Structure 1
């Protein structure tokens, strides 16, 4: 915790090494009481492997909306837990006009893996709020649609005995196999993954196995 000489701000720096799962280093920088304006953060490494690094601001709601990077990129914005190994990472798209949800995060993951794995409807999704039915948009809504899709696959596989050992890896493979893909796009990519989920097509293709 250091107080700057010419500013009223205080700077806190935390180092976490090694990070579980990656073995990399995580550095958290907090600037408390920052004077409004443009701030520059310079990094100096003691041991450099390739000199690459990624920097993220806190998630929406944890920092003022006026705080932003001057030269931000939409790539590498899929973060934990969506970037963890052994899960299904879901993006969002508008099923009405087949366009990508503009506010969704994009891959690749921090280690270069292509993410998301696939996209699900995430614009104008009907759901239940505390006050009653309503519409919601975002990757959280898309993740809920994907979770329901996974539940139906588990019912088919485990409950009905078609694939009793079904788990995350099998579900991911089945869903990827049935994804809808456009002819003018190369898959997988860091916006659409392997395409848009289509459960009926997944079931049709599974019957052919």
Structure 2
């Protein structure tokens, strides 16, 4: 099975109905405090647990969680209702890659607003990946901004075909935003070593490191920053140290 989450922007109040691949219909489930239902079907072996959370802390927005057990193959349809006009907007997410089968996806999806926790937590440096060979963004990287319209990702770092050591004491190419995050972590450690350990900037902390990375990022003059793919630009360690020493 898998889970699916709907996050509704306040002050809207959302509810939904369900149409199965076989044509069975679950009418609109009203939005009520702590509404929990288990939906079963006559011709489908699927079971759906539906959990309405009207105020999800700390954001204060509504969340609807759907858990699917033995989901039937085919197209599932969900109609979302909002009692407020115009709607404040909502987002629906499926689990990330490797946590869901490749055949489960939205037919009409949006690649933006796909940066999720923990990358959008404060005050982390959320990192996307790009290919240093041609300065292209890594196609499978999540895109911003987050659902609260805060700038995520913050920075882009090398993350495609990066040669790195393995657990078997060999070297192999790695690709992904995790690779880019490791690259960024190493640069952050260098900056803290220079500032705190060597005494050049004793008050430098992780928030300061993040801000210096943002200010020193390399930016394409043909693009507007920040943007949903590159954040504030490409990580530039040399420019970061130039600004630190100026």
TM-score with structure 2 setting the length:
0.79
Asked if 1:80 is matched to 2:117, the reply is yes
SS at 2:61 equivalent: coil
In the TM superposition, residue 130 of structure 1 has moved relative to its aligned partner by 2.4
Deviates more, 1:188-197 or 1:25-34: 25-34
**Structure 2 counterpart of 1:178:** 216
Deviates more, 1:41-50 or 1:177-186: 41-50
Task: Tell me the matched-pair count.
Answer: 208
Q: Over aligned residues, Cα RMSD in angstroms?
A: 1.8
CA distance in 1, matches of 2:214, 2:53: 35
In the TM superposition, residue 188 of structure 1 has moved relative to its aligned partner by 1.1
Contact 1:126 1:133 in 2 (8 A): yes
**Structure 2 counterpart of 1:90:** 127
Q: Which has the larger radius of gyration?
A: 2
Cα deviations by residue, 1:129-182 (Å, 9 ceiling, x for unpaired): 223211100000000000001100110111112222222221111111211111
SS at 1:54 equivalent: strand
In the TM superposition, residue 45 of structure 1 has moved relative to its aligned partner by 4.8
**Structure 1 counterpart of 2:42:** 5
Unaligned runs of 5+ in 1: none
CA distance in 1, matches of 2:85, 2:137: 37
Deviates more, 1:161-170 or 1:10-19: 10-19
**Structure 2 counterpart of 1:31:** 68
In the TM superposition, residue 120 of structure 1 has moved relative to its aligned partner by 0.4
Contact 1:11 1:29 in 2 (8 A): yes
**Structure 2 counterpart of 1:109:** 146
Distance 1:18 1:165, change over 3 A: farther
Asked if 1:162 is matched to 2:200, the reply is yes
Contact 1:4 1:11 in 2 (8 A): no
In the TM superposition, residue 48 of structure 1 has moved relative to its aligned partner by 8.1
Q: State how 1:13-162 maps to structure 2 within 5 Å.
A: 13-16=50-53, 18-45=55-82, 50-131=87-168, 132-162=170-200
Deviates more, 1:3-12 or 1:120-129: 3-12
CA distance in 2, matches of 1:158, 1:26: 42
**Structure 1 counterpart of 2:230:** 192
TM-score with structure 1 setting the length:
0.92
Unaligned runs of 5+ in 2: 1-37
SS at 1:43 equivalent: strand
Contact 1:88 1:168 in 2 (8 A): no
